[in-house]
Structure 1
C-alpha cells in the first residue's frame, strides 16, 4: 500500500500493526512510500528488488506450498517516471515465468470508463500502460463494489473519480486461484478506497467467529473488573483465559454492541452511496456521504 510515509516514521508505525514482518520504500516527495506487511506464520516473503515505484517479492504460502511473484506498485504522478516503471515491469516479465500478481496505485486510468469528470483519459498514455500489461501477460479479473477507487472529494460540478488502484494477475496465477475475486471496499478517511484480493472466497455464514480482543475495551473504566473477576475464579492460566473470553464477549455486547452495530450500518450505507455516486453523482449524495463520514468519526473516537 502507498502510505506517503517513509524512513524511521514508517518503521515506527508498522511496528504497531498486527504484522510481524515489513518492508518499506522511500517516499517520492509527499507521495509514495510503499509498505509491504505480512505475517511469517502464514507466508514466507523473499524481497527480490525495489525502487520508489515498486517492490518485487516471491511469496510462498505456507499451508499450501504454493509460490508466486508479487509486485506492489506506486506509479509516480509524473508521466516520465511512470514510463520508467512500465519499462521495469517489461524487464521483469522477460526474467521469469512464475504466477504473478501486480497490485497498487497505477495513477493511470486504462479506459474511458475508468474516469468520471476532469480531462479525458489520455489515449497515448493508456496505450503505453496497456502495452506494458500485455507484455507482462496481465489479466483484469473484474471487481465488485463501488466503481471508482479514487476521488478528489470535490462538489459535483468539479468532481473527478478514477479507477486507478487495481489488481492484475497472469494466467498461471489464475490457475492456482480460479475463484479469486477483487473487491473495492468502503472508502472512509482516505481519497482512495481499500482494494482487496480475496484469493479463496468462502461463505462465512453460520461459522463461529474466533475470540478477538478489542483495543477499545481498554478505554472503558469497567473493563479491569472483567479481567480481575476471571483471574479470581481460577488458579491456572488456561481456565482464566476461557472465563475471560466468555465474560468479555457478554460485557462487550452490553457496553459496545450498539457502537459496533452503528459502525457496520454506517459503512454499509457509505458503500451503497459510493456505488451510486460512481454512476450518477449528485449534490445530495455527496453531502449525505460527508454526514455519514462525520458520524463514523464520532463513533470511532
Structure 2
C-alpha cells in the first residue's frame, strides 16, 4: 500500500495489513485534511476528519470481517436512523465486493458506502462518491470527493 500512496502523491494513509490473502484495510486522505485515527483492528479503522482546523466534521468508520448477528445489524441500522444518516450514492460499478468466483458461484454485494447527515450534506453539497475499478482485491476502493460550501483554496 505504501507504493500506491507514493504513486498518488498528495495523500496520507493509514493501513491495516492483510493476513495472507484475506483482510487488510486502507484509508487515504488529502494532505490538506487533518485526520486522526481513533482506533483500528484487523476489521476496522475509526477516524475523525477536520477541515482546515475546524471542529471535527466527519467520523469515518471502515469495517470488514466475519458475518454479524442480526441484532448487531439491526442496532447499526437504528444508529443510522437515530443520527439522520443517509447513503451518499455513488457512480461506477454497482457492487463493491465480489467473492472472486465464476458462473453460478459468483456473489457480488454493495458492502462499502459513504453516508452523511442532512446537516453535512448541506455543508458539503458537492460531495461525490466513486467506486474505482480494481482487480487486486475482492473489494473495490471507494473515493469521496468533497469540499465545504463557500470553500476557497488556501
Match of 2:28 in 1: 37
Task: Give the Cα separation in 2 of the matches to 1:38 and 1:149.
Answer: 19
Say whether residues 1:56 and 2:38 are aligned partners. Answer: no
Q: Write the deviation string for residues 125-154 of structure 1: whole angstroms up to 9, x where unpaired.
A: 5x4442232234321122222221122233
The 5 Å alignment of 1:12-23 reads: 16=6, 18=9, 21-23=12-14
Pairing of 1:170-249 with structure 2 (within 5 A):
170-200=117-147
Looking at structure 2, the residues matched to 44 and 134 of structure 1 have their Cα atoms a distance apart, in angstroms, of: 28
Deviations 1:249-289 (A, max 9, x none): xxxxxxxxxxxxxxxxxxxxxxxxxxxxxxxxxxxxxxxxx
Call closer, same or farther: CA 1:54–1:180 in 2, change over 3 Å: same
Matched-pair contact (CA < 8 Å) for 1:32–1:74: no
* Rg comparison, structure with higher value: 1
Distance 1:137 1:76, change over 3 A: farther
Look up the match of 2:151: none
State the Cα distance separating 1:19 from its structure 2 match: 5.3
Alpha-carbon shift at residue 182 of structure 1 (Å): 1.8
1:91-240 matches, within 5 Å, as: 125=73, 127-200=74-147
Q: Deviations over 1:184-211 (max 9, x none)?
A: 23343333222222225xxxxxxxxxxx
1:69 corresponding residue in structure 2: 58
Structure 2 unaligned residues grouped into runs of 5+? 148-154
Inter-partner Cα distance in structure 1 for 2:5 and 2:134: 24
8 Å Cα contact 1:14-1:22 kept in structure 2: no
Q: Distance in 2 between matches of 1:47 and 1:152?
A: 29
- Superposition RMSD on alpha carbons, in Å? 3.3
The DSSP-based 3-state class of the residue aligned with 1:165 is coil
Gaps of 5+ in 1: 1-9, 87-124, 201-301
- Taking the aligned partners of 2:65 and 2:115, their CA distance within structure 1 comes to 18
Could you list the runs of 4 or more consecutive aligned residues of structure 1 that deviate by over 6 angstroms after TM superposition?
Answer: none
How much does 1:177 deviate?
Answer: 0.5
| Counterpart position of 1:270 | none
CA spacing shift, 1:172–1:53, aligned 2, 3 Å:
farther
After superposition, the Cα gap between the structure-2 partners of 1:21 and 1:140, relative to the gap in structure 1 and judged at 3 Å, is closer
Evaluate the alpha carbon distance shift between residue 157 and residue 133 of structure 1 in structure 2; reply closer, same or farther with a 3 A threshold: same
Using CA pairs under 8 Å that are at least 6 residues apart, name the structure with larger relative contact order, 1 or 2. 2
Paired residues in the alignment total: 146
Q: Counting helix residues as a fraction of each chain, which structure ranks higher?
A: 1
Structure 2 distance, partners of 1:48, 1:78, is 24
